[in-house]
Amino acid sequence: MNFRLPTPEEYNRKINFSAEQIAERIKELGAEISRDYPNGVTLLINQKSSLVFTADLMREIAPNVRIEFLRLGSIKQQDDASPLLFLRQSEEIILDGQDCILCTDIVRTGFTMHFLLTHLKSKNPNSLEICTLLHNPEQQLLPFPLKYIGFETDYDSLCGYGISYQSQGRQFKDIVQLVPDENQD
């Protein structure tokens, strides 16, 4: 099924999580992380779509915060097999002895998170947890603990608050549902 962004007329009806709900939840997550890591924490930013979330979260964390940007690459395989993932700047990331939180926009199947956790654990952090803005437990195939969850959702067609659909909609202040595009086959 193809989707499209909501029109201005549809926008308010398609809000899944409002800017106010997001801000309140991020404030709560920041307070939790501040309590859990009184000596500071390193936030690992996964993907462009996590930038807005992580920037707002960082401002709500009381202790020292260090950030690292992760750049995933992928190599397409033959047929429709899943692409091979790799971390572009692997050698530049030093996590030895640090408390780290991997921040992401959404956890769906868990394959990307599993890859990142496996790779980042080899960097010998003191601790490594996951903080996700959205989690779709119905789609998660690989089990691993998510310590900090903004919201659970059963929708997989969302955009806004940094999350884009076909490189659009990232600027929306709310997280909105995409609309089925009835003009497409």
Q: Provide the 3-class DSSP secondary structure of residue 139.
A: coil
Q: Is the pLDDT of residue 48 over 90?
A: no
Confidence class for position 46, pLDDT limits 50, 70, 90: confident
Q: Is the pLDDT of residue 75 over 90?
A: no
The residue ranges of every structural domain in the chain are 3-75+96-180
Task: Give pTM, 2 decimals.
Answer: 0.87
Please say whether the beta carbons of 52 and 168 come within 8 A. no
165 or 79, which is more confident? 165
> Given this model, what pLDDT does residue 178 score?
94
Single-letter amino acid code for the residue at 129 = E
Give the pLDDT mean for 111-118. Answer: 87
Average pLDDT value over all residues in the chain: 87
> Given this model, what pLDDT does residue 176 score?
97
63 or 98, which is more confident? 98
Quote the crossing angle between the two packed helices 19-36 and 51-59, to the nearest 10°: 60
Give the pLDDT mean for 118-147. Answer: 90
Q: What is the CA radius of gyration of the chain?
A: 17
The domain made up of 3-75+96-180 has a fold known as Rossmann fold (3.40.50)
> Given this model, what pLDDT does residue 54 score?
95
Percent of the chain whose predicted confidence (pLDDT) is above 90: 59
